[in-house]
Structure 1
Amino acid sequence: MTKPAFLNNSFTMNSETHNSYGERIFTGLAYLIISIFGTTGNSLVIIAILLSRKLQTPTNIFVASLATADLLTCLFLIWNVIALLGRDGWPLPHAEWLCAVAGFAIFTCTGVSVYTLATIALNRFVFITKSLQTYQKIFSPIKIRLMIVFTCYTFVFTHIKRHFKKKRENELNNIALAEGSSIDQSTQRRADGISQMELNITKNLFLVVVAFFVCFSPYCVLQFIPGTYYLSLYGAILVVANSAMNPVIYARRHPHFKIVLTALIKCQYDKIPEPTDFLKRFLARRVDPFP
């Protein structure tokens, strides 16, 4: 039987590349655990954003995009588990397309995660270092939608470059016309206006980026070291584990997510801050939205 190409990589080892069925069972069980926790955690993150207006910020739109990509990764990971637990490889000979689709989906979602993390970093950079007007102009609702739909941020870079070039020209003109250090004072006022809460959110999102690189680095390094293909199987476990880590980071460290996620887990929906109209209707009718 012809095996799909996806079966021949370290994410879904089969009997042709790994002689030990025990190793494949270990990997399959690890994937299964990651899939269960990742599906649950990322679903809670998405639901939290849908139910609380407090979480519906430009930054959290990208968080929702990242959670969606991670959720899809965890859902499609189930097919990898099926492939790994089959003694002779893919156990569904008439549905090999499922394995190919799963491979395509996982690699695509990984790419989306990379782009989303890059945009989150850009979002925090602009918010912390630039004026509120600049931030609102770059991350307007329509532009955020385009970023999410295409996961392509070339136009953002172009816009920033053009905008900042114009801003520098205006600043030079202001320096020539104004006395004192008005620009420095403006920068100081902006820095004073950034709350400790926003700094904590930025630190939390930085941890998300760090976790991504920590999980992906070992696998990537192993690909360039001859004779380590055997170890890349375990590196792949760490890669997919990243899809289940972010909800834990949000729940433990993000000041807003922590409150909403705790309320969801405890089914205390009336304690969700700034509930959306959808949640208000359910609470008013005394109907549990998650029976």
Structure 2
Amino acid sequence: MNSSNTVNNSFIPFSDFEANARFIAYAVLLAFTVIGNIIVIESFIVVRTLRTPFNIFLLNLATVDLFTGIFRMGFYLFNIAYAKGFEWPFSPALCNFSGWALSIAFSANVHTLELMAIFRYIAVVHNNTYNLTQKRAVISIVCIWIYSNIIALLPIIGWNRYRYQANEIACLPDWYYESSYPLFVTICDVIIPLTILFYCYVAIYITMKKTSRRFRDISNQGMDIALQQISKREARVTRAMFLVFVAFLICIVPYAVCVFILFSIFHIWVGRDMAFLTGYFVNLNSAINPILYGFLYCRFRKAYYYTACLWWRKLSSIFTILSSLHHRHNKVRLVKDCDGDFNRSRGTEIISMNHHDQAVIQEVD
């Protein structure tokens, strides 16, 4: 084992049963994550009605989740398969790359949800529905990725370092090396974003309650029906975004408490089974987000159905082409076999005729 690349030298390798169970669990999760988020991205490509400013943030979440599935879960599966979690089986450069990818995915996910809440807060509380355009959404997402890259590169350029955490089976910042960087990440990527998210959604909830009472009074008077419908649509969008945030919160809070607070600050380790469960819940969020989009948004359900129909047509055409090629190949082979049989039968007749002619010639002689 490369001790320079591993933190916990007292780690006991998994038994065959533990390794197989964890491998199967993450393989299933990886399949759902990759397929689900590819469907989301494909839906944005083929269905133009999904390309609204707010949905661009959902597209970014799908990209981050796909990023998480490929790198976080992919490295996990390779590690379980080759080393049973005992050591990092690849080079130190790949350990740095893995830690960089995980840090980017986590930071980009949190701050995308944060900006979604901020823009909804401006739209609902301050009644400014035109504050978000596609250009502003794209610029905001670019800023998120730049910030996440900076945060992820800090351990590589000297502030802390990425080392293999055997209990989590991942390359992460070295919590034992020094505590300033973990504390910085905890404040910037956990405490501040979650505080802003809570404040925005509480303010949105209070405003929506007041608005619903006002429109209830207006509807009793038979006035501003169109305005009331707009308010209901905004409420549905806000409710859906809030549920996406709640799902993220349920998945991330146990991991944040165990790793960012108990382990990195107080150096209290909760055990590798708890680390596995909390880490699995973090990655589970990447798999359930596409399901939530389809469940909460009618447009996404229709886009999923349309995308599935396109995929089915493509697969059907591919199967049809392969079937026709196979049928043509069998037909050609059948013709060749028939020709071969015919030639062999003719050869036998010629040989028998030659023997007969020779016998006749001998009799004449």
Q: TM-score, normalised by structure 1?
A: 0.68
- Indicate which of 116, 136, 143 corresponds to 2:136: 143
- Determine the structure 2 residue equivalent to 1:228: 270
- Indicate which of 208, 211, 215 corresponds to 2:244: 208
- Determine the structure 2 residue equivalent to 1:85: 81
Unaligned runs of 5+ in 1: 10-14, 154-184, 271-281
Q: Which has the higher contact order (CA 8 A, sep 6+)?
A: 1
Residues 39-63 of structure 1 show CA distances to partners (whole Å, capped at 9, x for unaligned) of: 1111111111121121110100111
> Does the C-alpha gap of structure 1 residues 264 and 124 become closer, same or farther in structure 2, counting only changes over 3 Å?
same
The Cα shift of 1:197 comes to: 3.5
1:42 aligns with 2:75: no
* The structure with more radius of gyration: 2
Q: Which amino acid is 1:30 matched to?
A: A
Aligned length: 232
SS at match of 2:83: coil
> Does the C-alpha gap of structure 1 residues 257 and 4 become closer, same or farther in structure 2, counting only changes over 3 Å?
farther
Aligned pairs for 1:96-107 within 5 A:
96-107=92-103
Aligned pairs for 1:59-98 within 5 A:
59-76=54-71, 77-87=73-83, 89-90=86-87, 92-93=89-90, 95-98=91-94
The Cα shift of 1:261 comes to: 0.7
Q: Distance in 1 between matches of 2:277 and 2:37?
A: 23
Q: Distance in 1 between matches of 2:53 and 2:282?
A: 27
> Does the C-alpha gap of structure 1 residues 269 and 84 become closer, same or farther in structure 2, counting only changes over 3 Å?
closer
The Cα shift of 1:227 comes to: 4.6
Q: Distance in 2 between matches of 1:31 and 1:143?
A: 36
| Contact 2:46–2:307 (Cα < 8 Å) also in 1 | no
- Determine the structure 1 residue equivalent to 2:310: 267
| Contact 1:197–1:255 (Cα < 8 Å) also in 2 | no
1:32 aligns with 2:27: yes
Aligned pairs for 1:16-27 within 5 A:
16-21=10-15, 22-27=17-22
- Indicate which of 301, 305, 308 corresponds to 1:258: 301
- Indicate which of 82, 107, 124 corresponds to 1:128: 124
| Contact 1:69–1:112 (Cα < 8 Å) also in 2 | yes
- Determine the structure 1 residue equivalent to 2:291: 248
Q: Which amino acid is 2:62 matched to?
A: A
| Contact 1:200–1:255 (Cα < 8 Å) also in 2 | no
C-alpha RMSD of matched pairs (Å): 3.3
- Indicate which of 52, 55, 64 corresponds to 1:57: 52
Residues 67-86 of structure 1 show CA distances to partners (whole Å, capped at 9, x for unaligned) of: 10111100112112111222
Q: Which amino acid is 1:39 matched to?
A: V
| Contact 1:82–1:90 (Cα < 8 Å) also in 2 | no
> Does the C-alpha gap of structure 1 residues 54 and 130 become closer, same or farther in structure 2, counting only changes over 3 Å?
farther
- Determine the structure 2 residue equivalent to 1:117: 113
| Contact 1:8–1:17 (Cα < 8 Å) also in 2 | no
Residues 217-259 of structure 1 show CA distances to partners (whole Å, capped at 9, x for unaligned) of: 1122233273513311221111111111100101222111011
Q: Which amino acid is 2:65 matched to?
A: D
| Contact 2:60–2:141 (Cα < 8 Å) also in 1 | yes
Percent of pairs with identical residues: 25
Q: TM-score, normalised by structure 2?
A: 0.56
- Determine the structure 2 residue equivalent to 1:199: 235
Q: Distance in 2 between matches of 1:81 and 1:268?
A: 28
1:217 aligns with 2:269: no
Q: Distance in 2 between matches of 1:103 and 1:63?
A: 24
Q: Distance in 2 between matches of 1:204 and 1:8?
A: 41
Q: Distance in 2 between matches of 1:128 and 1:238?
A: 31
> Does the C-alpha gap of structure 1 residues 215 and 8 become closer, same or farther in structure 2, counting only changes over 3 Å?
farther
